[in-house]
Structure 1
Amino acid sequence: MLLFILACTLPAAAQSDPELTIGAKAGINFYSLSSDDLVEDNDAGVGYELGIYGRIGEGIFVQPELNLVRYKTHLITRNQPRVGERDAVTVTYVRIPVLLGYRTDYDGMFVSRVRVMAGPSISYALSVADNNLNIQRKDIHNMQFALNGGVGFELWKLHLDLLYHHFFTSLLNDGRSEGKGRAFSVTAGLGF
């Protein structure tokens, strides 16, 4: 699916708007799970993300990225070693989103451009931090698929992005698990 989107949009973007922006970004995210019969309680946790991106196009653009993301949520599960104990589950991923967007030519006093973007992503789980819930790397789905969308603001070379990430794959690979990730991220970066 990602290849299809790239194949359809990159040539069009390259022909009409050949501008290429390369950048790096860093920020925080707030991650939690949707309802799951295996989870008694769930609170959002704060994680981080670092990444690089290429934005192809001026008005309409395609933005592939490569991110290192750490998501964290605080859980009480139904089958953990110590009943009722809450602990953080922290998973580190490599995430590859491909965003399609529109960049305005607005030029205000503080913000020079506004971007609206959305697109799919695929994430591969690298590791799970030690926790008291007995959730290990083998208990997490290897691949996570998500749809991402949000807005971005530009001030000269500085970019600020606010994105929502809606996962379609359950976090835990137990066949009874239904909890899927939901995250908001705020990142700042520089583009050249």
Structure 2
Amino acid sequence: MKKTILFTCLLALSGLSTMAQSSKFTFGIKGGVNYSNLKTKDDLTNENSILGYQAGIFARVGGAGLYFQPELYLGTKGNEYTGIQTNGSITDVKGEIKFTTLDVPLLVGTSIGTSKLNLRFMGGPIISFILDEDNSLGAAYNQVSDFGNYKNQTLGLQAGAGIDLGNLTFDARYEAGLSNISKSEKYNQQQRLFHLSLGLKIL
């Protein structure tokens, strides 16, 4: 997984270097919060959403109302569980699964307005690499042997809207997982998130 992460970072930096030669290039930093949960196939868990964060960099290149925006940021996401179904009944649990991830959205969008004030709409895939996992579910979690075995990376889709006010950029997005984050087919889990972020254009 480390080699995959390194390759992705190098590819992103190479792309940023190439795009920097474009006259319509923007680079900046961003940070924000998200509200996430893990939706399971056939509703085999009782879950609640949790609050997470994100922080990283973004680039934007394009013109004539169409742009490409790759991003690279660290974030947290996961789920709070109150019950897990096993042997046909719900096992009561109380705790969280929280992941620290390196996220790479590759977005295509369109904008309406001027360079100082414009409205944007965007969408595209996101690749997430799980760097760390923390759970507080305790003994009940350990009894469900095929539940908490997670993959190292997942694929999702982001879509949303944003607005630029001078050098400030605001985004609101929804992210839906396209791949099963769990190695168990029984507990097919897909991440769901709602993002709010604030960015600052440096270039």
Q: Which TM bucket (shorter chain)?
A: 0.7 to 0.9
- Distance in structure 2 (CA, Å) of the matches to 1:32 and 1:191: 30
Unaligned runs of 5+ in 1: 1-9
Matched, 1:168 2:185: no
TM-score (normalised: structure 2): 0.77
Residues 51-78 of structure 1 deviation map (CA, whole Å, 9 limit, x = unaligned):
2011012321100111111003101223
Runs of 4+ in 1 over 6 A off after TM superposition: none
The one-letter code matched in structure 2 to 1:95 is D
Matched, 1:146 2:153: no
What is the Cα deviation at residue 106 of structure 1?
A: 5.2
What is the Cα deviation at residue 37 of structure 1?
A: 4.7
- Distance in structure 2 (CA, Å) of the matches to 1:71 and 1:43: 12
Corresponding residue to 2:34 among 12, 29, 36: 29
Larger mean CA deviation between 112-121 and 68-77 belongs to 68-77
- 2:71 matched to which residue of 1? 65
- Distance in structure 2 (CA, Å) of the matches to 1:144 and 1:40: 20
- 1:6 matched to which residue of 2? none
Matched, 1:116 2:121: yes
SS at match of 1:139: coil
What is the Cα deviation at residue 171 of structure 1?
A: 2.3
- Distance in structure 2 (CA, Å) of the matches to 1:40 and 1:62: 38
- 2:189 matched to which residue of 1? 179
- 1:85 matched to which residue of 2? 93
- Distance in structure 2 (CA, Å) of the matches to 1:39 and 1:88: 16
- Distance in structure 2 (CA, Å) of the matches to 1:67 and 1:120: 14
- 2:8 matched to which residue of 1? none
**Pairwise CA RMSD of aligned residues?**
2.6
- Distance in structure 2 (CA, Å) of the matches to 1:165 and 1:38: 19
The one-letter code matched in structure 2 to 1:85 is V
The one-letter code matched in structure 1 to 2:66 is I
The one-letter code matched in structure 2 to 1:177 is Y
**Number of aligned residues:** 174
- Distance in structure 2 (CA, Å) of the matches to 1:61 and 1:37: 38
- Distance in structure 1 (CA, Å) of the matches to 2:51 and 2:78: 6
Classify 1:126/1:106 alpha carbon distance in 2 versus 1 (closer, same or farther; 3 Å): same
Larger mean CA deviation between 49-58 and 29-38 belongs to 29-38
- Distance in structure 2 (CA, Å) of the matches to 1:141 and 1:152: 31
- 2:5 matched to which residue of 1? none
Residues 7-66 of structure 1 deviation map (CA, whole Å, 9 limit, x = unaligned):
xxx9xxx7xx73110011000001112233574301111111112011012321100111
SS at match of 1:171: coil
Q: Percent identity?
A: 25
Matched, 1:98 2:106: yes
Answer yes or no: is the 8 Å Cα contact 1:104–1:113 preserved in 2: yes
What is the Cα deviation at residue 191 of structure 1?
A: 1.0
